[in-house]
Structure 1
C-alpha cells in the first residue's frame, strides 16, 4: 500500500504536462480514468515508479512499460498527492517489492536519437512570415528560435499530432505530413520529423506554400 500523503487537488490532461505545472513535484500521481487506474511516483520531478490496470483488468502494466503507456495517453484524470521524504522512501520500497520501479527514470523522455541541428531550424525560421519555430519531443520543447513561448503548448501540440495521425490512419489517407491551425491573428503549423516534431508560428499573411515546402525538404532529408 502506498502512503496516504496530502492531496494537492485533481487535474485533467496529459501526464507530460505535469513537468510544466509542477516541475519539482514529489509524491504520487494517482490516476483514475479514463480507461483504468494506476499511479506514477515522482521525486523532485523525476518519475521512479509506475503501474496501470485497465478498467476491464485485461491490461496490467508496471515499471517502464506502465510509465510509457501513461505518458502516451492524450488525457488522464489524476490527483496529485504530496509526500514527505519518509513517505517517499516508503513508496519506493513498496514499488521495489511489487516490481513497479522505472529503470530509465527522468521527468523528461529520453533524448531523441538524432537531435535537430540549428541550421535546419534556421532554414524554417528564415521563411517569410515565420515568427518562431520549435522542435519538441514527447511533449517537451527541446530547441526554439524566435519570439514565442512553446513550453506551454508543446504537450498539446504533441497530442494534436497523435490525434491527426490516428485520423489519417483511420481514413486510410497515408502518413500525416503536416497540420495547420489558422486564426485571423496567425497560423500554427505542426509537423512530424523523424522521432521529433516541429511547431511553427507564422503571421496571418505568411505564405504557407513556402513554409510547407521548407518542412517537406527537411522531412525528405534534402536540407
Structure 2
C-alpha cells in the first residue's frame, strides 16, 4: 500500500510504526467528522485495535499538513466568482481568524489562518488565493471595511480590476460552509498550536 501513496505522505508514514490503513483511517475520520480523539480511541477499541487518543493526535499533526499539500496539487480549477468571509477558531484559548473563500458552486478556493482581523490579514489571504488559483472576476464579501480595503489595494495597478460586491444573501454559501467547520471543530475544544486548524478544518469541505 505504501508504494501507491504520495512520496511525501509515504515518507511520514515510514516513521510511524503502526499499520498504514489504521493510521490513515483514524486521520481521515478525525479530519472529516465531528469526532473527538477519545471517540476515535473507543471506536478503534470496538474493532479490536488499541490505540491511545494522544497517538491519533500525533498522527494528525504529522500527516495532515502533508496531505493538504498533496491534495492541493490535484485540486480542480475553481470558478471566477468567489464568496469570501472569515470565521473564528479558538487556538490555545484565544480567538483567531480563519479567512476562507468558495466559488459560486461551493468549491473551496483557499483558506488562511491569521492572528488578527485587519486589512493586512485580508490582503495576505487574497494574494495567496490569487497566486494559487488565478485572479477572480468578482469577489463577494460582507460589510467588513478591512476586506474592502484589501481588495482595493490589490486592484491598484491592475489592468482589469476585481469587481467587489457586498451582497449579504450571495455570501450565504460561504457562511453555511463555516457552520460545517464549526460542527467539526467543536468536539476538539480548541487547538493547541496555531498551525493545526489551518491544516485540516477546511479540508473536510474542499472538493477535489
Tell me the TM-score normalised to structure 2 length: 0.25
Structure that is richer in helix per residue: 2
Task: Choose between structure 1 and 2 for higher RCO, CA contacts under 8 A separated by at least 6 residues.
Answer: 2
